[in-house]
Amino acid sequence: MPSWLMAEPRPVPFRGGGFAPRPRRWVGWAVFAALIALAEIGTRTGFISALTLPRPSDVLLTFGELYRSGLLWKHLLPSLSRLAVGALIGASAGIGIGILIGLFSLIRAGLVPLVAAIFPIPKIALLPLFVIWFGIDEGSKYALIAFGTFTPTVVSTFGAVDNVDRTLIRMGQSFGLSWLSIVRKIVLPGALPGILSGLRVSLAIAIILLVAAEMLGAEYGVGAYILEAGSLYDLERLFAGVTILSLLGLGVSAVIGVAERWLLRWRH
Amino acid sequence: MELRLEHVSHRYGATEVLRDVSLTVPEGRILCVVGPSGCGKSTLLRLMGGLERPDAGAILQTGDPPEGCLNPLTFVFQDFALLPWRSVAGNVSLVLEDRPLGRRARQAIIADVLERTRLGDFARAWPRQLSGGMKQRVAIARALAVRPAVMLLDEPLSALDAQTRELLMEDLVALWSREPFTAVYVTHNLAEAVRLGHAIAVMSRRPGRLREMIEIDRPLEAREVGDVELEARQRELWLLMREEARAADAELVDG
C-alpha cells in the first residue's frame, strides 16, 4: 500500500503574498505622533534634558508667537519667492536641455560629460562666485538654487526621453507624422512620468540649497531664522524653523503628487 | 497600387538576413509571408514600408494610390503600438492630425473606422482598459483611417490568445470582403496564412530567400475552421518548412 493512502490529508502550506506595497494612510501620521509624544513625555519627566531636545509643546508655542508677531510671513515669503524663482529657472532649463540631449546626438555628446562634471560639485561651494557674478542680493540665491536644481533635472529628463518606447516612435514615422508631431505627441508625453519623478528629487535639493543660501547672507528667510536661533542656542526657535522646512517639503511633494494624478491620469 | 521587390538583399552587420528576394504584391489581394523564426520576414516588411533601406535591390511601387489615400504604406504592429496617454479615438486621431483635413472630416473618419471595427462604444476608453483583441482592433482602425494602398501587418495576432485570434481573423475577412484591400501579412502561424492569404510566400531560414509561392484560390469568405482543403494546404506548408524550422531552431541567435 503506498504511503499516501494511509497519511492524513494536510492543507498545502501558503507561501505566496507580500512584496506588494499597499496604502496605509494613518501609519505615517502615527509614527510622527508617537515620536512627538515620546519627546514631550521625555522632556516633561526630565528623562530627556532641556539641553538635548526642546519640548514639542514649547516649539508649538514659539511657532504661535512667530505667527502672531507677523515675523513668520516676513521670513517665509522671501524664502518662498526665492524657492519659486530659483527652482523655476533651474527646472525649466534642466527639462529643456535634458530634452535636447535626449533628441540630438551632437548635443548629447557635448553636454553629457559636462553635466557629469558639474553634478558632484557641492553648489554651495560656488556661492562666493555667484555673489561676484550675480550680486550679494537675490541674484546669487536664485543662481544657487537654479544651478542646484538644474543638474539632477537634466539627468532625469534625458533618461526619461531615452526610455520612451521606440516602437511608438517607429509607429509615428510609419504613419508619416512630422518630426515635431513625434516629439510633441509621442516623446514628451512618454517622458513625462520620468521627468515628474525627477522633479521630486530636484525640488527637495532646491529647498536644501535655499536654506544654505539664506544662512550665508540674508536678513530674512527661513534659513536666516534658523541660523540666528542656532547661534543663540535657542532650540525652540531652531525646531520651529526646521518644522517649517519639513512642511515646505511636504507641500512641494503634495503639489507634484497632484500634478502627477492630473497629467498621468491615463496610467491609473 | 502594386508593390514590387526586385533582388532585395539585406544584412545587419555580419548577419545576412535576406538574400535576393523578388516578389510582387498584387492589388486587392492579401499576400502572406511565412517562414521559420529569424528568416527576416519582419525585416522584409519594414523594408517594404520604408522603415529601413535595403543594402541591395529595389522596392518599387507602381500605379497611383487610391483616391483619398493619406498614407499609402501603413503598418499594423504585433505589439499594437498604441499611445497609452490617448483614448481610443485619440489614437486614431493622431494619424490624421498632420493631414490637411478639417475637424469635421477628421471626426467623420474616426467615427467611420471605429464603427467598422465595432469600437464605436469605446471611443473614449484608455488603451489600458482594453483587452488585447480590442487593442489590435484599435490599431486596425487606425490603419484603416489613413486609407492605405497597402497594409503591412507584422504578426498582428501573435500577441493574442487562440480564441481572440480566431475572432480577429473573422473580422479581417469581413473587412476585406466589404472593401478589398491590398495587404502583406507576415506570420509564423500557418493556420492564419491559409485562412487569410490569397497567396503565401514561403521563406527559407536565414539568410531568407523566397522558396516557394503558393496560391489558394478559394475565396476568403468560404474558408472556415476545420476546412479539409485548407488543412491539406497547411500540412503541405508544414512539410515544406519543417526541416528549415528545425535547423533554424538549432542556430545561435547572433550566429
CB neighbour list of residue A152: distance below 8 Å, 6 or more residues apart: A94, A119, A198, A201, A202, A205
Set of chain B residues whose Cβ sits within 8 Å of the Cβ of A195: none
At residue B200, the pLDDT reads 94
Q: How confident is the model at residue B253 (pLDDT cuts 50, 70, 90)?
A: low
A174 with B51: Cβ contact below 8 A: yes
Q: In this model, does residue A196 exceed pLDDT 60?
A: yes
B74 with A174: Cβ contact below 8 A: yes
Residue B42 lies in a domain: yes
| Cα B78 to Cα B75: distance, rounded to the nearest angstrom | 10
Show the domains of chain A with their CATH numbers: 55-263 (1.10.3720.10)
Q: How confident is the model at residue B57 (pLDDT cuts 50, 70, 90)?
A: very high
At residue B32, the pLDDT reads 95
At residue A208, the pLDDT reads 92
Is B91 buried (19+), middle (13-18) or exposed (0-12) by CB count in 10 A? buried
Is the CA virtual torsion B84, B87, B88, B90 positive or negative?
negative
Q: B146 CB near a chain A CB, below 8 Å?
A: yes
Q: What percentage of chain B exceeds 70 in pLDDT?
A: 99
The mean pLDDT value of chain B amounts to 90
Q: By mean pLDDT, which of A2-16, A200-214, B180-194 is the weakest? A: A2-16
CATH number at B30 reads: 3.40.50.300
Q: In this model, does residue B255 exceed pLDDT 70?
A: no
Determine the average pLDDT of the residues in B51-59: 92
Q: Looking at the DSSP assignment, which residues form a beta bridge with residue B193? A: none
CB neighbour list of residue B155: distance below 8 Å, 6 or more residues apart: B42, B78, B186, B187, B188
Residue B127 lies in a domain: no
Q: Looking at the DSSP assignment, which residues form a beta bridge with residue B203? A: B210
Number of structural domains in chain B: 1
A177 with B74: Cβ contact below 8 A: no
Give the model confidence (pLDDT) of B216-233 as tens digits. Answer: 988 888 888 778 888 888
Residue B97 lies in a domain: no
Residue B176 lies in a domain: no
| Cα A127 to Cα B132: distance, rounded to the nearest angstrom | 56
| Cα B149 to Cα B147: distance, rounded to the nearest angstrom | 7
Q: Is B219 helix (H, G, I), strand (E, B) or coil?
A: coil
| Cα A75 to Cα A61: distance, rounded to the nearest angstrom | 17
Residue B196 lies in a domain: yes
Residues in chain A: 268
Parallel, antiparallel or unpaired: strands B15-25 and B73-76: unpaired
> Which helix or strand (DSSP H or E) is residue A215 part of?
helix A188-215
Q: In this model, does residue B111 exceed pLDDT 60?
A: yes
- Number of other residues whose CB lies within 10 A of the CB of residue A66: 20
Whether residue B125 contacts residue B93, with contact meaning beta carbons closer than 8 Å, is answered with no
| Least Cα separation, residue A200 to chain B (angstroms) | 22
Q: In this model, does residue A206 exceed pLDDT 80?
A: yes
Residue B32 lies in a domain: yes
Q: What percentage of chain A exceeds 90 in pLDDT?
A: 72
- Substitution target from B51, B85, B94, B101 for chain A, most A beta carbons within 10 A: B85
Name residue B21's amino acid.
V
Name residue B167's amino acid.
L
Write out the E strands in A13-111.
none
**Of B155, B152, B228, B240, residue with least CA distance to B192:** B155
Q: Given the C-alpha cell 560629460, which residue does it identify?
A: A113
**Of B45, B6, B9, B35, residue with least CA distance to B23:** B6
Q: How confident is the model at residue A216 (pLDDT cuts 50, 70, 90)?
A: confident
Q: How confident is the model at residue A82 (pLDDT cuts 50, 70, 90)?
A: very high
* Residue A13 φ/ψ, nearest 5 degrees: -65, 140
A168 with B95: Cβ contact below 8 A: no
* Residue B179 φ/ψ, nearest 5 degrees: -155, 95
Determine the average pLDDT of the residues in A1-22: 82
Q: In this model, does residue A214 exceed pLDDT 60?
A: yes
| Least Cα separation, residue A182 to chain B (angstroms) | 10
**Cell (9 digits) for A114:** 559636462
Q: How confident is the model at residue B254 (pLDDT cuts 50, 70, 90)?
A: low
**What's the complex ipTM?**
0.89
CB neighbour list of residue B208: distance below 8 Å, 6 or more residues apart: B17, B18, B19, B21, B35, B39, B40, B41, B43, B44
Q: By mean pLDDT, which of A169-173, A199-203, A230-234, B225-229 is the weakest? A: B225-229
> Which helix or strand (DSSP H or E) is residue A139 part of?
helix A138-162
At residue A1, the pLDDT reads 61
| Cα A175 to Cα B74: distance, rounded to the nearest angstrom | 6
| Cα B145 to Cα A260: distance, rounded to the nearest angstrom | 32
Q: Which domain holds residue B198?
A: 1-66+185-255
* Residue B6 φ/ψ, nearest 5 degrees: -120, 110
Determine the average pLDDT of the residues in B223-250: 85
Set of chain A residues whose Cβ sits within 8 Å of the Cβ of B124: none
Closest residue in chain A to residue B99, using alpha carbons only: A177
* Residue B36 φ/ψ, nearest 5 degrees: -65, 160
Q: In this model, does residue B252 exceed pLDDT 80?
A: no
Determine the average pLDDT of the residues in A80-97: 96
Q: How confident is the model at residue A123 (pLDDT cuts 50, 70, 90)?
A: confident
CB neighbour list of residue A195: distance below 8 Å, 6 or more residues apart: A95, A98, A153, A156, A157, A160
For the residues of B225-237, what is the DSSP string, one character each?
TT-HHHHHHHHHH
| Cα A102 to Cα A95: distance, rounded to the nearest angstrom | 10
| Least Cα separation, residue B74 to chain A (angstroms) | 6
Determine the average pLDDT of the residues in B4-19: 91
Q: How confident is the model at residue B193 (pLDDT cuts 50, 70, 90)?
A: very high
Q: Looking at the DSSP assignment, which residues form a beta bridge with residue A177? A: none
Is B178 buried (19+), middle (13-18) or exposed (0-12) by CB count in 10 A? exposed
Whether residue B7 contacts residue B58, with contact meaning beta carbons closer than 8 Å, is answered with yes
Whether residue B179 contacts residue B217, with contact meaning beta carbons closer than 8 Å, is answered with no
Determine the average pLDDT of the residues in A37-52: 89
Q: How confident is the model at residue B125 (pLDDT cuts 50, 70, 90)?
A: very high
Whether residue B95 contacts residue A177, with contact meaning beta carbons closer than 8 Å, is answered with yes
Q: Which of residues 73-112 of B touch A (CB under 8 A)?
A: 73-75, 77, 79, 81, 83-86, 94-95, 97-98
Residue B94 lies in a domain: no
At residue A135, the pLDDT reads 87
| Cα A166 to Cα B103: distance, rounded to the nearest angstrom | 29
Is B53 buried (19+), middle (13-18) or exposed (0-12) by CB count in 10 A? exposed
Give the model confidence (pLDDT) of B29-50 as tens digits. Answer: 999 999 888 788 889 999 999 9
Which pTM was predicted? 0.84
Residue B208 lies in a domain: yes
